[in-house]
Amino acid sequence: MNPFLINNYISPEYFCDRESESKTLISNIVNKSNVAFFAQRKIGKTALINHVLYLLQKKKQTAIYIDIYATQNLKELTNILANSIYKAFPENKGIGKRFWEVIKILRPIISVDEITGSPQLSLDITQTKQFENTIPQLLKFLDQQNKAIIIAIDEFQQILNYPEKNVEAILRTCIQQLKNISFVFCGSNQKMMHYIFYNAKRPFYASTSSINLKKIDKTVYAEFIKLQFEKHKFKINTEDIELILDLTDCHTYYTQRLCHEIFARGVKKITTSIVFQTINTIISDNEAIYFQYRNLITPSQWNLLKVIAIEKKLEQPYAQKFIFKYNLGNSANVKRVIEALSEKELIYYNSTIEKPYYEVSDKFLMFWLQHK
Ligand SMILES: Nc1ncnc2c1ncn2[C@@H]1O[C@H](COP(=O)(O)OP(=O)(O)O)[C@@H](O)[C@H]1O
Ligand SMILES: [Mg+2]
C-alpha cells in the first residue's frame, strides 16, 4: 500500500506530526471548551480532526464527525446530523434505542446509500418551525444521556450559504445549554470562518477557543518522508527530501501527493531526476486546468498571480519597490487585484504569523507559473 495518503485518514502510522495541535484539541475537548479551527485548504484540517477522533475513540469516547460541505439548507444539516447520530449508536440498545424513540415522531426514513451500501436515515420534515426545533431536540437528547460526546463539524462555513439566516443563532443558543457535548468547528474558507467566529455582531463570537493550523515543520516532515519510504525499502537521500519539501513549500497535500506519485513509480532508488520527472508529470496532467484558470481571470490578475508565484512569499504587495519592480501601476490597483485573487482562493493570506504574506494556494500551479 502507498503510505503517502492523499485523500483520507487511516491511522497514526500514516500521519505526520501535529502532536501539539492534537494535544490542544484533546485538552479542549476534555475540558468541554468548544474549538474552532481554520487554515488554508488541504493543509490537514480534516485529517487532524480524524486523527484526534481516532485517538479519542480508542479511549472509548463517542465521536461524531460530519462534513457539511454538500448541505444546502437547514433541513439537510438536520438530516446529516440525525443520520450520524443514528450511525454512532446501535439501534437495538441503550442510547440508540432511546434515540429511536425520540425520532420516531419525526417520521424517519431508512434507505440504502447507493455508493456505500450502508443504511441512511433521513427525516421527513416539512414545516420550517419543525426543523428549526429538530437540531436543538437532537442535541438536547444526546446531552441527556450523561455521556461525554464530541461532535466535529467540518466545512462549517457552509451554514452561511443556507437560505435560512438564523442557523448560527439556532445552533449557538442550543449549544450554550449543553453540558456533555463538546464541539469542534472547522472550515477552509478563511473569510467566512472569520466572519462567523471573529465578528462581534455574530452569535458565535467569542464562544470558542481557536487553533491555527500551520504547515508542518520541515525537519519533522523530512523525517516522516524518509521513514515512510524506508519502511518500503526505498532509498532517498536528505537532499532529495529537501528538494521535495522546497517544491511543495512544505504544504501538506502537495507534499503527500508528490511523495505518493514518486512512491507509485516503484523505483527503489529515488534520484533528483525522478523527483523532477514526477512533478513534471503531475503538472502536465493538470495543465488543462491551469489554462482554464487563465481564461477565467483578467490579464492583470493572471499577471499578479504569476508574480506572487515567482516571489513565493509576498510580504509587502503595496510597497513601491515591489510595484515598480514588476510594473504593476499603483497600490490601489494591486489591492483590487489581490482582493479578487483571494476571493477566488487562488492566493492565500497567511495572517497568523509574525510576518504575514501572500502565497499561491496551489503549489503545483505555483511551480508551473514559475517555469512558464
Ligand atoms: N499530518 C498529516 N500527515 C500525513 N498526511 C496528511 C496530514 N495531514 C493531512 N494529510 C493528507 O493531506 C491531504 C489533505 O489534508 P486534509 O485534511 O484533507 O486537508 P484540509 O481538510 O485542510 O483541506 C489528505 O489527503 C491527508 O491524507
Ligand atoms: Mg477538509
Q: Name which residue leads in pLDDT, 120 or 64.
A: 64
**Mutate which of 2, 4, 5, 20 to test ligand 1's pocket (most atoms within 8 Å of Cβ)?**
5
Report pLDDT for 286. 96
Q: Using pLDDT thresholds of 50, 70 and 90, give the confidence band for residue 90.
A: confident
Residue 127 has pLDDT above 80, yes or no: no
Distance from residue 362's CA to the centre of ligand 1 (Å): 14
Tell me, using a 6 A CB cutoff, whether residue 45 lines ligand 1. Answer: yes
Fold for domain 297-372?
Answer: Arc Repressor Mutant, subunit A (1.10.10)
| pLDDT attached to residue 191 | 85
When pLDDT is averaged across residues 269-289 and rounded to a whole number, the result is: 97
* Alpha helices (H) in the chain, listed in sequence order: 19-30, 45-58, 74-88, 94-104, 128-143, 167-176, 190-198, 218-231, 238-247, 252-265, 272-296, 299-311, 320-325, 331-343, 363-371
Structure confidence by residue, pLDDT tens digits, 54-78: 999 999 899 999 999 999 999 999 9
String of DSSP letters for 5-33:
-SS----GGG----HHHHHHHHHHHHTT-
Domain ranges of the chain: 18-212, 216-296, 297-372
User: Separation of 42 CA from ligand 1 center, angstroms?
Assistant: 6
Given a cut of 80, is residue 129 above it in pLDDT? no
Give yes or no for residue 115 having a pLDDT over 80.
yes
pLDDT of residue 92: 78
Pocket test for ligand 1, best of 51, 157, 256, 257 (most atoms within 8 A of CB): 256
Counting from 1 in the atom list of ligand 1, the atom nearest the Cα of 213 is 22
d(C-alpha 120, C-alpha 110), whole Å = 5
Q: Quick one: cell of 202? A: 455574530
> Which ligand number lies closest to the CA of residue 69?
2
Residue 34 clears pLDDT 90, i.e. is over it = yes
Atom of ligand 1 nearest to the CA of 7: 25
- Ligand 1 within 6 A of CB of 44: yes
CA distances 155 to 161, 259, 370, Å, are 11, 27, 31
Note the pLDDT tens digit of each residue in 208-240: 988 889 999 999 999 999 999 999 999 999 999
Closest-CA residue to 364 (of 269, 260, 238): 260
CB-facing half-sphere around the CA of 302: CA atoms within 13 A = 12
> Residue 320: how many CA atoms within 13 Å on its side-chain side?
0
Indicate whether 190 pLDDT > 90.
Answer: no
What is the domain class of 18-212 according to CATH? alpha beta
- Is the distance from CB of 10 to CB of 115 less than 8 angstroms? no
**Is 105's pLDDT higher than 90?**
no
> What's residue 167's pLDDT?
94
Which ligand has an atom closest to residue 41 CA? 1
Rounded CA separation 163/153 (Å)? 19
Structure confidence at residue 132 (pLDDT):
84
Residue 117: its pLDDT value, please?
83
Higher pLDDT, 87 or 93: 87
Query: Is residue 158 lining ligand 1, measured as CB closer than 6 Å?
Result: no
Topology, domain 216-296: Helicase, Ruva Protein; domain 3 (1.10.8)
Neighbours of ion ligand 2 (CB under 5 A): 45-46
- Does residue 186's CB lie within 6 angstroms of at least one atom of ligand 1? no
Write down the mean pLDDT value for the chain.
93
Q: Could you give the percent of the chain with pLDDT greater than 90? A: 78
Q: What CA–CA distance (Å, rounded) separates 351 from 344?
A: 17
| First-to-last C-alpha distance (Å) of the chain | 35
Q: What are phi and psi for residue 195, nearest 5 degrees?
A: -60, -45
